[in-house]
Structure 1
Amino acid sequence: MCLKVYYQLTTWMALYRLVKNILPGLTMIEYSRFTRRIKQMGTVLQVIRQGLSSWTNPESVAIIDSYPLPLCQYVRNLHASVFAGYADLGYNATKKQHFYGFKVHMVATPGRLILNYVVTPALVSDVKVALTVTQDCPCSNILADVGYISKDLRTAFAQRGYTFWTPYRSNMKELRNTIIQF
């Protein structure tokens, strides 16, 4: 799948041909079996990622964030048939852009080790996915951006034993005054 992204291939057949050309001496499986195995790789990659994260020394800090995964330009969303019923219209506040597609929610360490990720329709709020994506997180401190500000979410993380850090908004003066200085 990395080859498909790197070489900007748009079809599985193009990836199949590329692998066949890169490894000419290898007896290749037929195309239909190749696509079935590619589809099963998602589960295999999850298991590999979980294994890698269990081998490493857990850091005390994890970072949670989300980013858009657009399928097409916003103006073409009415004609898009790929992932119809799954993809959704969303808004990226950072770029101030509407998009059609998905949103990837990810938890990673400062050392760039991905601990977990979830792909959701674009309209799903960061707050709704935060507890799911941080489940079984080995880090005790979780840093997040303003998309994750929620009093209920902060309470839920505290009940799980996590310290949840988000920036404060300008109208949150009562919480700013309770910050403990280290």
Structure 2
Amino acid sequence: MNNFKANYDKILKVLKIITDKEQFLRQNRRPKLKDIELIAINLTSDYMSIDSECQLFRVLPDVLKLKIERSVYNRRKRKLFSAIEFLINQLCERLIEFENYFVLDSMPLEVVKLSRSNGSKICREDFYSSPDRGFCASQNMHYYGYKIHAVCSVEGVFKSFEISKASVHDIHYLNDVKSQFSDCVILGDKGYLSADYQLDLFESKKIKLEVPMRKNQRNYRKQAYVFRKKRKRIETLFSQLCDQFMIRRNYAKSFQGFKTRILSKLTALTVIQYINKFIFDRNINKLKISIV
């Protein structure tokens, strides 16, 4: 994993398989570094756990470093958000075929420590996208920042995701699920337990929301073991995002930069899954294994 150029070449090759476009931004002057190459650099740094742009430009090969300055790289990366989003959607379509079972969960994304939240100006340029305080029941902690809601296949490929304020309850994300899915089974935890939402999803889009019951509920029955086992896949993915891709470490100052960082890490994970499946024919979730 220490050979940046070899990993970059492999990821760039995959991106060129996904799309024929090399330039996504309209610019008066043709840049030396193409947009697709910039995205490949970004994804390679996330795969290799290089989370600092200062460190990235230390290890970046001269053949790439001479094509772009660090400040220009940062600005162009933020502008390429929609292009990265397009690429991850294309990757998901190739990785997920005829899938009827999905897993739903959320994860806290802390921006700054709770004690520093009052004086923090990070991501506060607009009210609608500014962070706020929330509570994570699984970790039993209060935090300041955002929450990522995600749906993945039972194999571990992210199909849909959204960033919301930390105070937004998980169950409200089901409104987005209703607009993106149909005729499938979605596995969730007890945070999505609601008879009204379950009925609405089934009647409107034929979505069966499979959620474990609480022990004090009437007619309690234990959830099937296969559902409990498959639901752990998304928790493993979140752990991999925190460990290898360092998704909870934040260096962004604006919300545009923050959401671009999150999207890049999810896309890097999906690219490695694509390489594992279609190039090496191995378990797609072996993310720390060499790709060269």
Give the alignment's TM-score, normalised by structure 2: 0.54
Which AA in structure 2 matches 1:46?
E
Helix, strand or coil at the partner of 1:25: helix
1:161 is matched with which residue? 206
Question: Which residue among 97, 100, 103 is the counterpart of 1:63?
Answer: 103
Helix, strand or coil at the partner of 1:135: helix
2:73 is matched with which residue? 34
Which AA in structure 2 matches 1:173?
R
Helix, strand or coil at the partner of 1:70: strand
Runs of 4+ aligned residues of structure 1 deviating over 6 Å after TM superposition are none
Alpha-carbon contact 2:181-2:205 (below 8 Å) kept: no
Tell me by how many angstroms 1:165 deviates: 0.4
Question: Which residue among 42, 46, 49 is the counterpart of 1:6?
Answer: 49
1:45 is matched with which residue? 84
* In 2, Cα distance between equivalents of 1:163 and 1:66: 19
User: How many residues were matched structurally?
Assistant: 172
1:111-131 C-alpha deviation (Å, 9 max, x unpaired) = 110001000010001111122
Q: How does 1:1-182 map onto structure 2 within 5 Å?
A: 1-2=42-43, 3=45, 6-9=49-52, 12=53, 14=54, 18-19=56-57, 21-26=59-64, 27-55=66-94, 56-84=96-124, 85=127, 86-133=130-177, 135-137=179-181, 140-158=184-202, 159-174=204-219, 176=220
Gaps of 5+ in 1: none
| Larger displacement relative to structure 2 (42-51 or 108-117) | 42-51
Give the alignment's TM-score, normalised by structure 1: 0.83
Alpha-carbon contact 2:131-2:145 (below 8 Å) kept: yes
* In 2, Cα distance between equivalents of 1:58 and 1:106: 19
**Larger RCO (CA within 8 A; separation ≥ 6):** 2
* In 2, Cα distance between equivalents of 1:83 and 1:45: 21
1:51-89 C-alpha deviation (Å, 9 max, x unpaired) = 122223132210010000001222221122101241010
* In 1, Cα distance between equivalents of 2:183 and 2:61: 41
Go from structure 1 to structure 2 and tell me whether the alpha carbon gap of 1:113 and 1:138 turns closer, same or farther (over 3 Å shift). Answer: farther
Which AA in structure 2 matches 1:106?
A
Go from structure 1 to structure 2 and tell me whether the alpha carbon gap of 1:30 and 1:134 turns closer, same or farther (over 3 Å shift). Answer: farther
1:117-152 C-alpha deviation (Å, 9 max, x unpaired) = 000010001111122145323661100011111122
Gaps of 5+ in 2: 1-41, 224-292
Structural RMSD (CA): 2.4
Tell me by how many angstroms 1:23 deviates: 1.8
